[in-house]
Amino acid sequence: MMKRRLFTTAALAATALASAAPALAQDNTFKIGLILPMTGQQATTGRQIEAAVRLYMAQNGDSVAGKKIQLIVKDDTSLPDTTRRLAQELVVNDKVNVLAGFGITPSALATAPIATQSKTPMVVMAAATSSITQASPYIVRTSFTLPQVSVALADWAPKNGIKTVVTLVSDYGPGIDAEKYFKDRLTFNGGQVTDALRVPLRNPDFAPFLQKVRDNKPDALFVFVPSGAGAAVMKQFLERGLDKAGIRLIATGDVTDDDQLNDMGDGALGVVTSHHYSAAHPSALNKRFVEAFSKANKGLRPNFMAVGGYDGMRVIYEALKTSKGQSGDALLEAMKGQLFESPRGKIFIDAQTRDIVQSVYLRKVEKKDGQLYNVEFDVIKDVKDPGKNK
């Protein structure tokens, strides 16, 4: 009985989703359903992306190809069941033309079947597990992937006196990607991962893990934790005296997140990370972006989440122009292959994988005008997601 009822509900939902799309065509509004974590552990991601999306709209207007752009923001609190329910409501009731946002991987994966069934393009602006773009042919990504950024650091480390490394990652999709791709490349380069530690995503306590690292005495600790958790890692790394024990901290740029970096204190100086965006990226376009973002948001510094949201909006706006206001498959096709200059540098949406190709930078935390920044000192250009070569 229970089983049948579940099946009936699922079948009804699928019918509603499949019939949602055609109704869109006549309407003169173009709706973007932006689902983000606005509260809870990932709230900074929601705050950054919403601010960037609103900045893009303020700068580029709310009328594109004869359509009035309407933004509908929903808070999923990072719970994938909530993300899925909100996405379903946005597609069936609000008849949105695009789903966007997705602060963490489980939220993006939970929504992928809804995008497929309703033929709604889904722009992933934050989540960064490699496999996400393979979960639906309607997904386009404007953030990054963990394999893309981790490999660069595994090339840098052995050339800079780091041979033994302990890895410490959040125990879910992006962390497991970071651990695997970092380790494979470091080993290939003659280095060694001497221990691989995984911490829970929710309410992590880093202390016991860092104690293990101290005992292990590697040349360096490599860390991935999602945006918002970096400051806690940095604090406990210093409190436990790992730096004094001669262990270097290296990480993906999620750890020295521009949203938190300036409050981490001088203990963060010298930390080397690899990532696709720094607020200190020295281009004229980025300077204008950082200034405008900061001005519109009481001095807030944009982080890599913000740039994913900003570029995601550009992908949507330009696609809508190319499709001459059409949605569904025509809109999706026009998102593929876009190439443009972003505040992070030149980016490209690979038409085949729908994933982002971009430069990855090596950066070091330095003080500039009394503030801490990720200062870029090397670049690997046009990096495709290594996860797609498999």
- Give the residues lining the site for ligand PHB (CB under 6 A): 104-105, 126-129, 173-174, 226-227, 254
Report in angstroms how near the CB of residue 380 gets to ligand PHB at its nearest: 19
Closest alpha carbon to 107 in 136, 143, 132: 132
Helix-strand-coil split of the chain, %, nearest 5: 45, 25, 30
Handedness of CA 289, 33, 327, 330 (dihedral sign): positive
Report in angstroms how near the CB of residue 78 gets to ligand PHB at its nearest: 9
Report in angstroms how near the CB of residue 348 gets to ligand PHB at its nearest: 20
Identify the helix (H) or strand (E) that includes residue 50: helix 43-60
Which lies closer to ligand PHB via its Cβ, residue 121 or residue 226?
226
Which lies closer to ligand PHB via its Cβ, residue 177 or residue 350?
177
**194 φ, ψ (degrees, to nearest 5):** -90, -15
The Cβ-side half-sphere exposure at 374, using a 13 Å CA radius, reads 31
Report in angstroms how near the CB of residue 128 gets to ligand PHB at its nearest: 4
Hey, which residues does 220 pair with through a beta bridge? 165, 248
Which lies closer to ligand PHB via its Cβ, residue 128 or residue 250?
128
Report in angstroms how near the CB of residue 89 gets to ligand PHB at its nearest: 22
**Helix (H), strand (E), coil (C) string for 70-90:** EEEEEECCCCHHHHHHHHHHH
Report in angstroms how near the CB of residue 146 gets to ligand PHB at its nearest: 7
- Within a 10 A sphere around the Cβ of 348, how many other Cβ atoms? 16
Which lies closer to ligand PHB via its Cβ, residue 97 or residue 374?
374
Report in angstroms how near the CB of residue 301 gets to ligand PHB at its nearest: 16
Cα angle, residue 179 at apex, residues 372 and 256 outer, rounded to 5°: 10
Which lies closer to ligand PHB via its Cβ, residue 317 or residue 361?
361
Residue 203 vs residues 42, 200, 232, 234: alpha-carbon distances, Å? 11, 7, 11, 16
Which lies closer to ligand PHB via its Cβ, residue 127 or residue 268?
127
Token code pair at residue 194: 């001497």
Which lies closer to ligand PHB via its Cβ, residue 107 or residue 297?
107
Which lies closer to ligand PHB via its Cβ, residue 47 or residue 95?
47
Residues 267 and 88: their CA atoms lie apart, in Å, by: 45
Residue nearest to ligand PHB (CB): 226
Residues 130 and 355: their CA atoms lie apart, in Å, by: 9
Report in angstroms how near the CB of residue 64 gets to ligand PHB at its nearest: 29
Report in angstroms how near the CB of residue 248 gets to ligand PHB at its nearest: 21
Which lies closer to ligand PHB via its Cβ, residue 334 or residue 347?
347
Q: At what angle do helices 284-296 and 304-322 cross, to 10 degrees?
A: 100
Which lies closer to ligand PHB via its Cβ, residue 97 or residue 107?
107
Report in angstroms how near the CB of residue 131 gets to ligand PHB at its nearest: 10
Residues 143 and 233: their CA atoms lie apart, in Å, by: 23
Residue 267 vs residues 55, 151, 362: alpha-carbon distances, Å? 33, 25, 19
Closest alpha carbon to 225 in 176, 182, 269, 272: 176
Q: Is the separation of the CB atoms in 125 and 309 below 8 Å?
A: yes
Closest alpha carbon to 143 in 115, 86, 103, 110: 103
Residue entry with tokens 């997140």: 257
